[in-house]
Chains A and B, each alone.
Chain A
Amino acid sequence: MKTKTLYLILALIAFLVGIGSALFGAVSISLEEMAAAIQKWISQTDDLSLNEQIFLDIRLPRAVLGLIVGGSLAVGGVLMQGLFLNPIVEPGLVGTSSGAAFGAALYFTLGTSIDFHTGEFTLPIAASIGGAIATFLVYFLAESPTRKTSIVTLLLVGIAINALFFSGVGFLSYIARDPQARSITFWNLGTLSGANWISVAICSLVSLSCIVLGLRNAKQLNTLMLGESEAGNLGIKVKTLKIRMLTINVILISVCTAFTGVIAFVGLIVPHFLRIISGSDSRQLIIGSFMMGAILLGLADILARLLLAPAELPIGIVTTMVGVPVFIYLLRKHNNYF
């Protein structure tokens, strides 16, 4: 398939999923109401009906956040799989998500008592610090000075560090007062229910810059596929490239995690399927994965709201239910990756 055709199809589906995601929910909103709300929003009219208000203030930011976060998680997966040369790696496995969750939970529970405030950016910054600590811990503990990072060591170190940071989150929700504790738990399972226009703005800003940075490094990331010494022979400073990739991944995933909690497996599934469709060129993978990840998380969010309607399932549970079978399939089918 032509790359441009693929992009076009994916973008179209993502758009439709976004609309679908805005349609579904406890209150049903018609397409006419959506159109009217958007018109009023453009013309800055204030007399909104309840449905129009729900659409503009709750549904639309939630749908948009779902698309952006889904896309970002998938791009994080592309970067980490390219870096560790393994299709079973994703940001959740290398500690980024659990570290970010811990950083954010720490701010949730103790943030008021520490004098550290930078407005709306405090939470994403706290998450990024946590994500960075966990990710670089995994990276440096799994790395060996004499041989290349083995995937088994990486996974085991990842399990240990994830356990550590998740138990940290558990501890925080244990000592937290009740409403805080509930929100930590829910958010630890991943949810888009907290979406608002501020989180949409921050996530899109961070996501866009990280993707541009990722695309600028796509060529270098490609050379890693030949192995580290070959990449070096093609003029790449491999160490700096790796640190750069890890940093982009940490910021991208941590900021998303700060607003939506831990959503696993999107970064694992999406790049894998895209590779089957369009090959492994990192540039195409980054662009395609962003759109496909958006589609996947948009669909998962619709499912999360439909399965137990009118109650809502944490979205992380939905992605995990889809992701685990894919993960096990990959483990059993492609054991030549080890």
Chain B
Amino acid sequence: MIKAENISYSINNMLLLDQISLAFQPNEISMILGPNGAGKSTLIKILSKQIKPNKGRVITNGNVLQNISQSELAKTQAVLSQNIHMVFPMKVEEVVMMGRYPHFSSKAESNDKEIVLEAMKLFQVDEMAQRNYLTLSGGEKQRVHFARVAAQVWPDGKQQLKILLLDEPLTFLDINYQLDFMKKLKVMMNNQPMTVIGVVHDLNLAYKYSDQVIFLKSGKVFSQGRKEDVFTTSSLKEVFNLNAKFILNEGVRHLLF
């Protein structure tokens, strides 16, 4: 389990996060939503140890995050960021292999190569394994990074919890790949105890695939909980200034705005 305890973060006297306390359960997808500037990305950066909170702490698998070494953390936790900009040519399979780097010291073992192959297959980039990453389209590049991050936290039969943090990962993807990605995430979660925490912009996607939802507004938690409880007409109005409706179709509640 991951717990954020009383986290505050400010930069240049601007308070970006104000006393955030949250808990993320194993085998759940938690989505952090909020308007621009709400502090979503900052929160992901703190949870992934990229920046240190001014106050409060993060507890990951029972340990204080600040006390876990970077290299140990990378064995169980992967982060998928937006906008990865590469300048040098590399083969797709070499990029995906980087996800295995935390797991071996100097040469990839057969186990690592297998996982890379599996991860490339899962995200349908195995056909372009030998291609130069720089020549791919934006969506293809993003799928390569999905495969890389998946390879990093690939199910290994151990019961240790793996953590996947997603910072607006679906930006460049066609809608079918977005849905596809979420489904594949669920497949991976079936084979491995895993906590997924994501920042997404698409309310419908969050509504469809999340277990827990957190609404952030101006650096504070506006509401959190089961998606059915958090997604309400009044909260959507207050957080996103959105006039939303819900409709029932074949027993499933859908969000309309």
Q: Which of A85, A87, A235 contacts B70 (CB 8 A)?
A: A235
Of B76-84, B120-128, B180-188, B213-221, the segment with at least 4 beta carbons within 8 Å of chain A is B76-84
Of A113-121, A217-225, A255-263, the segment with at least 4 beta carbons within 8 Å of chain B is A217-225
State the interface size on chain A (CB cutoff 8 A). Answer: 25
Question: Which residue from chain B places its CB closest to the CB of A283 in the assembled complex?
Answer: B106
Q: Are A230 and B81 in contact (CB under 8 A)?
A: yes
Name the interface residues of A219-259: CB closer than 8 Å to any CB of B: 219, 222-223, 225-227, 229-230, 232-237
In the complex, which residues of chain A have a beta carbon less than 8 angstroms from the beta carbon of B79?
229-230, 233
Report the separation of the CA atoms of residues A223 and B74 in the bound assembly, to the nearest whole angstrom. 12
State the interface size on chain B (CB cutoff 8 A). Answer: 31
Q: Distance (Å) between the CB of B146 and the closest chain A CB?
A: 14
- What is the total of A-B residue contacts with beta carbons within 8 Å? 74
In the complex, which residues of chain B have a beta carbon less than 8 angstroms from the beta carbon of A237?
70-71
Question: Which residue from chain B places its CB closest to the CB of A215 in the assembled complex?
Answer: B106
Question: Which residue from chain B places its CB closest to the CB of A334 in the assembled complex?
Answer: B87
Secondary structure class of chain B's binding surface, majority of residues: mixed
Q: Are A86 and B87 in contact (CB under 8 A)?
A: yes
Report the separation of the CA atoms of residues A229 and B50 in the bound assembly, to the nearest whole angstrom. 7
In the complex, which residues of chain B have a beta carbon less than 8 angstroms from the beta carbon of A279?
89-91, 94, 132
Report the separation of the CA atoms of residues A233 and B101 in the bound assembly, to the nearest whole angstrom. 11
Report the separation of the CA atoms of residues A280 and B49 in the bound assembly, to the nearest whole angstrom. 28
Report the separation of the CA atoms of residues A279 and B132 in the bound assembly, to the nearest whole angstrom. 8
Q: Which of A223, A276, A336 contacts B98 (CB 8 A)?
A: A223
**B257 on the A face (CB < 8 A):** no
Q: Distance (Å) between the CB of B256 and the closest chain A CB?
A: 37
Report the separation of the CA atoms of residues A222 and B88 in the bound assembly, to the nearest whole angstrom. 10
Knowing A219-B106, A234-B74, A236-B70, say if A225 contacts B101 (CB, 8 Å).
Answer: no
Report the separation of the CA atoms of residues A219 and B103 in the bound assembly, to the nearest whole angstrom. 12
A-B residue pairs in contact (CB < 8 Å), sample of 17? A219-B101, A222-B98, A226-B84, A226-B86, A226-B95, A229-B50, A229-B79, A229-B81, A232-B49, A233-B74, A233-B77, A233-B78, A234-B101, A235-B70, A275-B89, A281-B90, A336-B87
Chain B residues close to A by CB (< 8 Å): 45, 48-50, 70-75, 77-79, 81, 84-91, 94-95, 98-99, 101-102, 106, 132, 152
Chain A residues close to B by CB (< 8 Å): 85-87, 216, 219, 222-223, 225-227, 229-230, 232-237, 275-276, 279-281, 336-337
